[in-house]
Amino acid sequence: MNTRISSTQSSLNRAMTAEQFNEVVKAIADGKYSWACLLILRFAGYNPLHFIPHRTYSRLMKDNNINQMVITSSTNQVKISSKAS
């Protein structure tokens, strides 16, 4: 039995942009698995603090030199901002 996929079904909405996906892949390649998990949760629109302890979250943010996460409400996209050197 063959199933036809309509053009609307074939163009799936993606949870992450290509840039966000590359950031997750880089974290995995660097061996930062906890950081990759945090990014996946954040990019998917979840609050990582609902899934991991605050202490772990704070350590990950500090270890990765992140001072803020800005959520653009109109597009529901997440941008990670690093601390200035």
CA atoms of 64 and 34, how far apart (whole Å)? 11
List per-residue pLDDT tens for the chain, 85 residues long.
Answer: 555 555 444 445 667 899 999 999 999 999 999 999 999 999 999 999 999 999 999 999 999 988 655 443 334 455 555 554 4
- pTM given for the model: 0.64
